Amino acid sequence: MGEDAWPRDAANVAFLENLNQVGSGTAVDGAPFLTLAIGARFTLCATLPGMPSVPVLSDAGQIVLHSHEPDESAVLDVLRRRHGQLATAQALCEGGILELHRAICLLRGVHPWRSSAAQIMLAANRGEAPECAHALAMFFGLLGDAAGRAALTFGAAGGVFINGSVVAQLGDAFARSPFRRRFDGAGRLPDSLRSIPTFFVRGHLQDAANGNLRQGIKKERLR
């Protein structure tokens, strides 16, 4: 889904200017693509090729969350003791950032002063609290794992597009996160994932990548 696939009118140009690629890969025109909305909730939608294309809302957020990273496993164990079996959607949302931060503080014997995901993200970006930075890095590492597995499941050669309030607040800091490294490592054959591009959508067009990018463009035209 390269830029040449989009009509070069004002709305589409504005949309393309708000797409920011993270890592390697080139989108294949006409291939399935994924959109992940990361905000108050976690949602994942696969858009399958066809005339017209078909958006399919996925229940991938209900998959049990796990990690092979020792420090992440320790944090997730804390959350499992609080909530029982932990679904991906429970951790990969604004509330999940707060939960990860509290668990990290508990393990480090530090009081969790921040009371919202927004406060944690602000402190992490300012370098004010190592626990906040660690929570955010862990969040995006887990998100990279989940996005990589979903991309393999759906054969998302058309790319993976991530939007939502969390990405909007972080901006370019998302590109510096562990997301892409963990995305590439989510499969047994990393080369199969390195060829899939990942993008984050920022600015006033956040809602455009809500499962069907072309429908998002139509909505933007009508404003």
Looking at this protein, which amino acid is placed at residue 153? T
Q: For the chain, which domains are there?
A: 3-63+149-222 (3.40.367.20), 70-141 (no CATH)
- Summarised one tens digit per residue, pLDDT across range 57-95 is 788 788 888 888 889 999 999 999 988 888 899 999 999
Q: Largest alpha-carbon pair distance within the chain? A: 56
- Summarised one tens digit per residue, pLDDT across range 176-215 is 899 999 999 988 876 789 999 999 887 544 444 443 444 4
Contacts of 38 (CB under 8 A, 6+ apart): 92, 93, 143, 162, 163, 164, 165, 166, 167
d(CA 132, CA 154): 33
pLDDT at 15: 54
Does residue 5 carry a pLDDT above 80?
A: no
